[in-house]
Structure 1
Amino acid sequence: MPDSQNLTEAPRPEAAGVAKAGAARPAPVGAEANSPAVEFRNIDIAYGKFVAVRDFSLSIRKGSFVTLLGPSGCGKTTILRSIAGLVDISGGQIMIGGRRVDDVPIYKRNIGLVFQSYALFPHKTVFDNVAFGLKYRNVPKPEIKRRVGKALDMVRLPGSEKKLPSQLSGGQQQRIALARAIVFEPQVLLLDEPLSALDANMREEMRVEIKKIQKETGITAIFVTHDQEEALSMSDRIVVMNAGSAEQIGTPEEVYERPATAFVADFLGKANMLAGMVSGSGQATSVVLASGQTINVACPRTLAQGSKVTVVVRPQKLSVGEAASANRLSGRVVSASYLGGSAIYEVDIGTKANIRANAPISGRVLREGEAIDLGFDPEGCVLLDGDGRRIS
């Protein structure tokens, strides 16, 4: 798979978010207004015998912020580039505003691009960098000046028109890259790991700024990241990618609280995965863990006794020493990390892997080797079948 940074080291019109006027094929009257902003229809992307993306489908509504989330090599950046025309698809269709664009040249796609390496022209001023796409479209000079000024105001860098990129911090350069991508009012804004080169404080600040600008402009945004916190805090919907396919598509709350597969549960938030066997099934399903301890899980289905299952419990769902919880797990503290208002405990409960609890502190922080009781509700967990797919 090509490296996205290589595409941006020598900025080109298309890398600067430029698209000439015109679309490949007209849509029926009214189709654009009623169509999703972006739609993938069963697309495949292959490099020789290697299939990078397989049978991927997704419909994105206008004005939404959708994140493609997954580990390196899962196909998320490849999908993003296919929208822009930087990668050819092997099968399926890509639609933007009701028009098929997968066979449309890149310069005819009305797309704004922001990359992690900024892709600014080092010898051009901030004004010329932001105005590049407008000049390429032959927009009149007074209108260029107005739009550039408005874009710089939106990214909170007014008065910086005469500066060169080398005179700006990394965060400021990323703001200029964002201004350049939105100045010509594209149909879709694509952001390929735009925050990965920034320090932690600047990343958090830019998250807020990008989301704010996206809401103010009403632009449809597609964001690529491997950072779970970025995805959860910024997105209207998250597409969790694995090996070229979508494992789960949903709101941040849906994919976090109710992961569809073991992969989603483990990748998004590092959940506790408790393997066991069904010992009883009724209004709640009883599961016996390897340690011999029994827990109950809310489940709408009747499961066969002896079925292999996995109980998924988020660290935040586990309480420490509270008798009110329906499920109780006893163990010993392996390690404890003090976080101010809460503590993270790693606990040995007699299973193959230790479990983790992130709980508020009441009293003192327990020390290594001390006995600990963990509690959680039957509704506070998810049950997976033997194939790692959600049952409840």
Structure 2
Amino acid sequence: MPDSQNLTEAPRAETAGVAKAGAARPAPISAEANSPAVEFRNIDIAYGKFVAVRDFSLSIRKGSFVTLLGPSGCGKTTILRSIAGLVDISGGQIMIGGRRVDDVPIYKRNIGLVFQSYALFPHKTVFDNVAFGLKYRNVPKPEIKRRVGKALEMVRLPGSEKKLPSQLSGGQQQRIALARAIVFEPQVLLLDEPLSALDANMREEMRVEIKKIQKETGITAIFVTHDQEEALSMSDRIVVMNAGSAEQVGTPEEVYEAPATAFVADFLGKANMLAGTVSGSGQGTATVVLATGQTINVGCPRPLAQGSKVTVVVRPQKLSVGAAASANRLSGHVVAASYLGGSAIYEVDIGGKSSIRANAPISGRVLREGEAIDLGFDPEGCVLLDGDGRRIS
């Protein structure tokens, strides 16, 4: 099932994590105070013969902000749907607070949901949209009023209780959807591409708001996105997904600076991937002859056999224009240049049908197409992958 599909229609989405009408408020799902907030144990999710998620395991600590990042169809939204109970798993276990929940009904999982499409009731006021989950939890009316007011304060929309969703901007509607998801103090907050329908300025503002609210409430949040910048700027940990499996799990710095595979390196930040052959190694470095014929020295944690095929991963930001002070030098000519104010992005032909991208501060003027250029970088400023595309460690 494609990742781009909405988690559910609005009516069903509204009742996720909400007790049935007239029922008592569900007890929090918690078996052990020190248990992970959410834990996936070797889960599989299949649709007939198609396996969308395969042997996925992940432990998420309480109060953390974890992002599932990857291209469309990688399984990230399917995993999010499974936590909410909107998708059945084919194997494995899902735990919340130490208690298994994959066989627990949706309305008993005590989970808040925020959707790309907002999923607000158009005929209900802001107050009634935010209060929806509380009304079916037998919360007294004065307490409902207090909680709704507090939630609207948190999302910076106080005084909007009587408005309809149609009277709000897209960003304001997303804030109301967030208020509705946190008003009943769920154990876990799930966010499915919640910013993708907003313009660039509003997306940046909402990133800050969502992260701020998550920290203030201490809620455990699981965020799904294909946007690398969102993942890097908001997350405590990032799970890079590929073809239904986790390629790498780590902090934003870890997955960006030390990608575990060629897929992670290429997907997260579009790194330069330079194929080469080891001509010698020792004392923490390796000498690599690139396919272009140029020779560079790179950091290497262990000796490698001469003739080993490797790929050198260099981020565009690690390259400097002018190689005088750098251990490595790559010479070429500018194919294209983009001015970004304080820096410029250069596409550089380094020969042998190879090109490299540099994002470097501007020193003097921006070089023009066709001009010669020298790029430099340090041996520690790159990552070395083996012939199978895995980081050498």
Which category describes the TM-score, using the shorter chain as reference length? over 0.9
Note if 1:369 corresponds to 2:370: yes
Aligned length: 392
Cα–Cα, structure 1 residues 142 and 2, in superposed 2: closer, same or farther, change >3 Å?
farther
Q: Tell me if structure 2 keeps the 8 A contact 1:17–1:180.
A: no
Name stretches of at least 5 consecutive residues in structure 2 with no aligned partner.
none
Q: Any idea what SS the aligned residue of 2:11 has?
A: coil
Task: Please give the per-residue CA displacement for 1:162-213, whole angstroms capped at 9, x wherever unaligned.
Answer: 0000000000000000000000000000000000000000000000000000
> Relative to structure 2, which stretch is displaced further, 2-11 or 199-208?
2-11
Q: Any idea what SS the aligned residue of 2:6 has?
A: helix
User: 2:319 and 2:4 mapped to 1: Cα distance?
Assistant: 40
Question: 1:290, CA displacement in angstroms?
Answer: 1.0
Q: Any idea what SS the aligned residue of 1:14 has?
A: helix
Q: Tell me if structure 1 keeps the 8 A contact 2:329–2:374.
A: yes
User: What is residue 275 of structure 2 aligned with on the other side?
Assistant: 275
Q: Any idea what SS the aligned residue of 2:15 has?
A: coil
Cα–Cα, structure 1 residues 61 and 95, in superposed 2: closer, same or farther, change >3 Å?
same
> Relative to structure 2, which stretch is displaced further, 284-293 or 327-336?
284-293
Name stretches of at least 5 consecutive residues in structure 1 with no aligned partner.
none
Q: Any idea what SS the aligned residue of 2:344 has?
A: strand
Question: 1:351, CA displacement in angstroms?
Answer: 3.6
Cα–Cα, structure 1 residues 371 and 85, in superposed 2: closer, same or farther, change >3 Å?
same
Cα–Cα, structure 1 residues 143 and 25, in superposed 2: closer, same or farther, change >3 Å?
closer
Question: 1:32, CA displacement in angstroms?
Answer: 2.2
Cα–Cα, structure 1 residues 287 and 57, in superposed 2: closer, same or farther, change >3 Å?
same
Cα–Cα, structure 1 residues 263 and 170, in superposed 2: closer, same or farther, change >3 Å?
same
Note if 1:304 corresponds to 2:282: no
Question: 1:52, CA displacement in angstroms?
Answer: 0.3
> Relative to structure 2, which stretch is displaced further, 299-308 or 2-11?
2-11
- Counterparts of 1:162-241 in structure 2, within 5 Å, are 162-241=162-241
Q: Any idea what SS the aligned residue of 1:281 has?
A: strand
User: 2:246 and 2:125 mapped to 1: Cα distance?
Assistant: 41
User: 1:336 and 1:244 mapped to 2: Cα distance?
Assistant: 37
Cα–Cα, structure 1 residues 89 and 24, in superposed 2: closer, same or farther, change >3 Å?
farther
Q: Any idea what SS the aligned residue of 1:147 has?
A: helix
User: 1:99 and 1:323 mapped to 2: Cα distance?
Assistant: 59
Cα–Cα, structure 1 residues 127 and 16, in superposed 2: closer, same or farther, change >3 Å?
farther
User: 1:201 and 1:96 mapped to 2: Cα distance?
Assistant: 35
Question: 1:87, CA displacement in angstroms?
Answer: 0.3
User: 1:345 and 1:322 mapped to 2: Cα distance?
Assistant: 15
**TM-score, with length taken from structure 2:** 0.96
Task: Please give the per-residue CA displacement for 1:219-271, whole angstroms capped at 9, x wherever unaligned.
Answer: 00000000000000000000000000000000000000000000000000000
Question: 1:352, CA displacement in angstroms?
Answer: 3.2
Q: Tell me if structure 2 keeps the 8 A contact 1:25–1:100.
A: no
Cα–Cα, structure 1 residues 7 and 79, in superposed 2: closer, same or farther, change >3 Å?
closer
User: 1:24 and 1:156 mapped to 2: Cα distance?
Assistant: 31
User: 2:383 and 2:23 mapped to 1: Cα distance?
Assistant: 46
Q: Tell me if structure 2 keeps the 8 A contact 1:228–1:268.
A: yes
Task: Please give the per-residue CA displacement for 1:19-65, whole angstroms capped at 9, x wherever unaligned.
Answer: 46999999999942110000000000000110000000000000000
Q: Tell me if structure 1 keeps the 8 A contact 2:126–2:165.
A: yes
Question: 1:283, CA displacement in angstroms?
Answer: 1.9
Question: 1:322, CA displacement in angstroms?
Answer: 3.7
Q: Tell me if structure 2 keeps the 8 A contact 1:16–1:133.
A: no
User: 2:197 and 2:388 mapped to 1: Cα distance?
Assistant: 37
Cα–Cα, structure 1 residues 114 and 19, in superposed 2: closer, same or farther, change >3 Å?
farther
User: 1:148 and 1:29 mapped to 2: Cα distance?
Assistant: 23
RMSD of aligned C-alpha atoms?
2.4
Identity %: 95
User: What is residue 344 of structure 1 aligned with on the other side?
Assistant: 345
Cα–Cα, structure 1 residues 131 and 50, in superposed 2: closer, same or farther, change >3 Å?
same
Cα–Cα, structure 1 residues 159 and 16, in superposed 2: closer, same or farther, change >3 Å?
farther
Q: Any idea what SS the aligned residue of 1:20 has?
A: coil
Q: Tell me if structure 1 keeps the 8 A contact 2:3–2:73.
A: no
Q: Tell me if structure 2 keeps the 8 A contact 1:289–1:351.
A: no
Question: 1:354, CA displacement in angstroms?
Answer: 1.0
Question: 1:16, CA displacement in angstroms?
Answer: 5.8
Cα–Cα, structure 1 residues 331 and 3, in superposed 2: closer, same or farther, change >3 Å?
closer
**TM-score, with length taken from structure 1:** 0.96
Q: Tell me if structure 2 keeps the 8 A contact 1:261–1:384.
A: yes
